[in-house]
């Protein structure tokens, strides 16, 4: 899977590259508008991560260019501006998702993952992780080919964990993913633990392995 990261800040560009590469993507980089236009014209990508504010141009114009090229790539816009207009404009132009800076790398990765699944396989694919099989189309989860029943939140958790397998995922990233930005209105992350406990229990009952590891006080690692 090839991903093009269009971001002018070198440090952020490299962070994204490092994280996504580790998750098995082949990453290419573009640091300004011209490079971005050049690369999307020259090569095919499965997914494009584009910053809006670029030197020499606007990330939204890259989206336009991709549409002219009739590219099938999934597009995620990242922006420092939490602007509803930019968001709507981006999605209108054909972007698939919009992420406001600062974001969790695990969240970006999960979204890239979800878009690729949707775009490339029309959702008709299965996600496999050892004995676990997930069918996103029907939202069913099989462990050793035995169906287990998960709540909505537990299902989302499992998808997020598998997308970010072998990586430490922080509680705040999990809370942000499951409840959106409003979760910080309401207090602690403690309730995440309940969902994780239930998910782990259901998988153990189906003779699955215990993949969810608590990493000190920091968060969780799957697999």
Residues found near other proteins in the complex (CB under 8 A) = 9, 11-12, 15-16, 18-19, 22, 80-82, 84, 100-106, 153, 167-168, 170, 172-173, 179-180, 182, 184-188, 190-191, 194-195, 215-219
Rounded Cα gap, residues 34 and 32, in angstroms: 6
Which one, 25 or 66, has the nearer CB to other proteins? Answer: 25
Which one, 23 or 35, has the nearer CB to other proteins? Answer: 23
Q: How far is the CB of 162 from other proteins (least distance, A)?
A: 17
DSSP assigned state of 3: E
Rounded Cα gap, residues 170 and 190, in angstroms: 13
CA 205 to chain centre: 29
Q: How far is the CB of 191 from other proteins (least distance, A)?
A: 4
Written in H, E and C, the secondary structure of 153-218 is HHHHHHHHHHHCCCCEEEHHHHHHHHHCHHHHHCCCCHHHHHHHHHHHHHHHHCCCCCCEEEECCC
Which one, 208 or 219, has the nearer CB to other proteins? Answer: 219
Q: How far is the CB of 199 from other proteins (least distance, A)?
A: 14
CA 12 to chain centre: 16
Which one, 66 or 183, has the nearer CB to other proteins? Answer: 183
Q: How far is the CB of 18 from other proteins (least distance, A)?
A: 6
Look at the chain and count its residues.
Answer: 223
Q: How far is the CB of 138 from other proteins (least distance, A)?
A: 23
Residue 127 corresponds to which tokens in the numbers above? 């996600």
Which one, 173 or 212, has the nearer CB to other proteins? Answer: 173
Which one, 11 or 210, has the nearer CB to other proteins? Answer: 11
Q: How far is the CB of 184 from other proteins (least distance, A)?
A: 6
Asked whether the beta carbons of 129 and 158 are under 8 A apart, the reply is no
Which stretches within 74-164 are classed as H helix? 84-93, 105-121, 152-163
């Amino acid at each position: 899977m090839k991903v093009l990261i269009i971001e002018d800040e070198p440090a952020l560009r490299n962070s994204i590259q490092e994280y996504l590469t580790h998750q098995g993507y082949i990453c290419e980089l573009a640091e300004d508008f011209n490079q971005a236009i050049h690369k999307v014209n020259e090569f095919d990508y499965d997914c494009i991560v584009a910053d809006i504010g670029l030197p020499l141009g606007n990330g939204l114009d890259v989206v336009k260019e991709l549409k002219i090229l009739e590219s099938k790539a999934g597009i995620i816009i990242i922006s420092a501006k939490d602007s509803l207009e930019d968001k709507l404009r981006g999605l209108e132009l054909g972007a698939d998702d919009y992420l406001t800076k600062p974001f969790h790398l695990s969240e970006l990765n999960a979204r890239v993952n979800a878009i690729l699944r949707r775009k490339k396989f029309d959702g008709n694919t299965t996600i496999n992780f050892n004995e676990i099989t997930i069918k996103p189309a029907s939202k069913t989860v099989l462990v050793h080919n035995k169906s287990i029943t998960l709540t909505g939140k537990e299902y989302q958790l499992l998808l997020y964990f598998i997308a970010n397998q072998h990586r430490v995922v922080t509680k705040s990233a999990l809370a942000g993913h499951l409840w959106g930005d409003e979760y910080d209105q309401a207090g602690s992350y403690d309730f995440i633990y309940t969902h994780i406990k239930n998910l782990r229990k259901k998988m153990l009952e189906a003779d699955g392995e215990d993949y969810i590891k608590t990493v000190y006080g920091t968060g969780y690692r799957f697999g």
